[in-house]
Amino acid sequence: MRLKRSTAYFLVVMLLGTLMSCSVQDQIESTVQSEDARMEWWREARFGMFIHWGLYAIPAGEWNGQTNHAEWIRTTAEIPLDTYDEFLPEFNPVKFDADAWVSMAKEAGMKYITITSKHHDGFALYDSKVSDYDVMSTPFQRDILKELAEACRKADIKLCFYHSIMDWHHPDYLPRRNWEKERSAEGAEFPRFVDYMKSQLKELLTEYGDIGVLWFDGEWEDTWTHEDGVELYDYVRSFQSDIIINNRVDKGRQGMQGLTAEGDFKGDFGTPEQEIPDMGLPGIDWESCMTMNDHWGYNKNDDNWKSAKDLIQKLSDIASKGGNFLLNIGPKADGTFPQESIDRLKAIGSWMKVNSGSIYGTSASPFEHLSWGRVTQKALPSGTRLYLHVFDWPTDGKLRLSGIRNNGLRAGLLSSPSTMLEIERDNDALVITVPETSPDPINAVVFVDIEGTPEVVLPPQIIFEEEHFVDEISVELRHDKDLTIRYTLDGSLPTLESPAYSEKLSIDRSVTINARLFENSLALSGVSGQQLTKVEMQKSSSPRNLKQGLAYRYYEGDWNQLPNFKTLKTKKQGTLPDFDFSPRIEDEHFGFEYNGYINIPENGAYRFYTSSDDGSQLFINDQLVVDNDGLHGMVEENGLTALSKGYHKIRVTFFEKSGGDGLIVSWKGPNIPKNEVPSEVLFKQ
């Protein structure tokens, strides 16, 4: 039988479509496998050392009597370029010992080192053939990165480079700092700077062996575009195809939270800075970078050191959420680490010698919240090993792992793996009998081997508008399984005798809600809890002769935190429709105070937010509600207050020192989703 031509054509098209579809799917799977292979060592490592080192170590954070500077000192202290360059003949770190640095990282349990090949000041720690602004122009005249590369190879540590896109030294980098009035940008060509940066990156990628990560930064300025990021990502990968590149190469990073926004942005992992996400992020690679004290570069006056306990628990917290921990050191100008950093590295190393198996190669916890600590996990040939990081040792000798349906096979202490611990089941929980005294008061790790992959029944969600309310609040208990939710309102443990949830609860008093899942007579989950507090409202006022807008006062000065504006001379004043910067004279070193009234539409609890760079505060009826003071990038803080319908005084203060600037004032309340405070509700007398 012969097919008609149209039928045959249709079948050929269908066949080609099927083959093409399979080909595309194969390509996708191949790409995922390739990316997984490239990321494998990094996911296994979980723990690395960050090093910020350069000319800024010489002033050690101090300039003209101010002691709060560090790696940003050229900008934060507004040091002219010629003056800053005088640090070159002073840079002579004769005590630098690459083997000692790498040995300290290795002894601490770190698997990789990320060091500043070039920070924002433009100074390079290596012998760059395309620049004289490098270590070879100093009395030291040794290629620091070459020596580190050799030491890392000997110790089996991955060497990684931090390289700043922003460059305050190169004549073609734009924009100039706002305070550099005498340094003209005439003749500067940004594309020429990009070519220079690529030349330096080529040196780093061809002369120092295999590089684990290129860690970019300084991408936030307007001169750097998404298209630049895509091109640079591909350029770097053209030299070392297996290299890992962070998301700061592109424009997709969402503030200090560091995760990449939706869209076609380049970058292999997110970069939360000085913070840890609240929850695990399935399918997302991320790394929290964090200082040991308050600065990245060396500051001799900064004694606000995180404790070893805090750092060890942070490492476990990050690993329990599927992330990596990049912990910073700011070496001194002589090439040594601060003693406080050395002490903390030793303490972490002592803990890792016993417990590293609970960190390396682990994945995120299957549990959401555990009152006593954190959990990491690792697949076994015939099951899963759960590592229970116990921060708070049970006083009754019973460690409960709630909501898990798998059978427990065995349990023990990592500090004494040959000593087995008793496991028994109590309803939803595996209960491990542990010694009376914790083997490690900071973080004792108990391992539990279970059958199969973890099957965890999470406790019910408690859904509500705000934890503080005025008259009454509606509360929903929710779960995705068709099971009975039982709850209590007095903080006690829900049992079979507790009420079964059927519809939203109306709460008109302060309570502590606990909720738990049951199937027939068996408790299947742990307990979720929430305290809800009834609060008194602030009364509204009845001001007369109100007009739309806010009164503002504009000030100028060099501050590290919000000053008392009442003691300062006002440069300008007037009326604005909202929290606007348009009257400012200077781009840096200025402040605003906004005063007026806000019209509250109905009784209720209202949450106010300020997102600012640098510091801000928000007052309602002269009471501080949001405290977002200090030197920082664009950071959001919030606070809650209960207000009656009508007019309430509002005052917002803000200051900008240097770098970026911004102020966003938002609110959320009854029937008001979070959004910027509209000008329509702002008034002045």
In a domain, 8, yes or no: no
Asked whether the predicted pLDDT for residue 414 surpasses 80, the reply is yes
CB-based burial of residue 522 (10 Å sphere; 0-12 exposed, 13-18 middle, 19+ buried)?
exposed
**One-letter identity of residue 321:** K
Q: Strand, coil or helix: what is 553? A: strand
pLDDT at 14: 52
> Within a 10 A sphere around the Cβ of 413, how many other Cβ atoms?
23
What letter would DSSP give residue 657?
-
Closest by CA to 197, choosing from 220, 174, 222, is 174
CA dihedral 11, 12, 13, 19 (to 10 degrees): 110
The CATH number assigned to the domain holding 305 equals 3.20.20.80
343 and 381 fall within a common domain: no
Instruction: Indicate the residue among 408, 424, 451 that finishes a domain.
Output: 451
How is residue 343 written in tokens? 């002490």
Let me know: does 453 contact 407? Beta carbons within 8 Å: no
Query: Any residues with CB less than 8 A from the CB of 550 and at least 6 apart, and which?
Result: 575, 576, 577, 578, 579, 594, 595, 596, 682, 684
CB-based burial of residue 274 (10 Å sphere; 0-12 exposed, 13-18 middle, 19+ buried)?
middle
Instruction: Indicate the residue among 427, 451, 475 that finishes a domain.
Output: 451
Let me know: does 473 contact 441? Beta carbons within 8 Å: no
Let me know: does 118 contact 368? Beta carbons within 8 Å: no
The CATH number assigned to the domain holding 386 equals 2.60.40.1180
The CATH number assigned to the domain holding 666 equals 2.60.120.1560
**One-letter identity of residue 660:** G
294 and 415 fall within a common domain: no
Distances, alpha carbon 177 to alpha carbons 68, 221, 385, 546, 660, in Å = 19, 11, 53, 41, 10
461-512: pLDDT as tens digits: 999 988 999 989 999 999 988 899 999 999 999 999 999 999 999 999 999 9
How is residue 276 written in tokens? 């840890």
In a domain, 84, yes or no: yes
How is residue 425 written in tokens? 């089941």
523 and 599 fall within a common domain: no
640 and 506 fall within a common domain: no
How is residue 31 written in tokens? 């790409």
Q: HSE on the CB side for 615, CA within 13 Å? A: 14
180 and 271 fall within a common domain: yes
381-410: pLDDT as tens digits: 989 999 999 999 999 999 999 999 999 999
537-582: pLDDT as tens digits: 999 999 999 999 999 999 999 898 999 999 999 999 999 999 999 9
616-663: pLDDT as tens digits: 999 999 999 999 999 887 889 999 999 999 999 999 999 998 767 899
389 and 492 fall within a common domain: no
Buried residues in 238-258 as b, exposed as e (16+ CB within 10 A)? eebeebbbbbbbbbbbebeeb
The fraction of the chain above a pLDDT of 70, given in percent, is 95
pLDDT at 38: 95
How is residue 585 written in tokens? 């004279």
Distances, alpha carbon 419 to alpha carbons 11, 258, 422, in Å = 67, 42, 10
Closest by CA to 179, choosing from 655, 587, 656, is 587
60-103: pLDDT as tens digits: 999 999 998 999 999 989 999 999 999 999 999 999 999 999 99
What's the structural domain count of the chain? 4
386 and 245 fall within a common domain: no
3-state secondary structure 403-460: CECCCEEEEEECCEEEEEECEEEECCEEEEECCCCCCCCCCEEEEEEEECCCCECCCC
3-state secondary structure 573-618: EEEECCCCCCCCCCCCCEEEEEEEEEEECCCEEEEEEEEEECCEEE
Q: Quote the strand ranges of 42-118, DSSP E.
A: 47-51, 112-118
pLDDT at 385: 98
In a domain, 475, yes or no: yes
CB-based burial of residue 670 (10 Å sphere; 0-12 exposed, 13-18 middle, 19+ buried)?
middle
Q: What is the mean pLDDT of the chain?
A: 93
> Within a 10 A sphere around the Cβ of 199, how many other Cβ atoms?
13
Query: Any residues with CB less than 8 A from the CB of 108 and at least 6 apart, and which?
Result: 47, 49, 345, 346, 348, 349, 352
625 and 673 fall within a common domain: yes
Q: How many Å apart are CA 297 and CA 56, to the nearest integer?
A: 7
Instruction: Indicate the residue among 507, 534, 561 that finishes a domain.
Output: 534
Let me know: does 616 contact 634? Beta carbons within 8 Å: no
508 and 604 fall within a common domain: no
121 and 162 fall within a common domain: yes
Distances, alpha carbon 449 to alpha carbons 356, 385, 414, 440, 526, in Å = 17, 4, 12, 21, 20
The fraction of the chain above a pLDDT of 90, given in percent, is 85
80 and 209 fall within a common domain: yes
CB-based burial of residue 495 (10 Å sphere; 0-12 exposed, 13-18 middle, 19+ buried)?
exposed
Query: Any residues with CB less than 8 A from the CB of 519 and at least 6 apart, and which?
Result: 483, 484
Q: Strand, coil or helix: what is 25? A: helix
Query: Which is higher by pLDDT, 516 or 471?
Result: 516
In a domain, 490, yes or no: yes
In a domain, 252, yes or no: yes
State which residues form the domain around 482.
461-534
In a domain, 59, yes or no: yes
pLDDT at 7: 42
Closest by CA to 626, choosing from 598, 597, 667, is 667
> Within a 10 A sphere around the Cβ of 556, how many other Cβ atoms?
16
104 and 154 fall within a common domain: yes
The CATH number assigned to the domain holding 476 equals 2.60.40
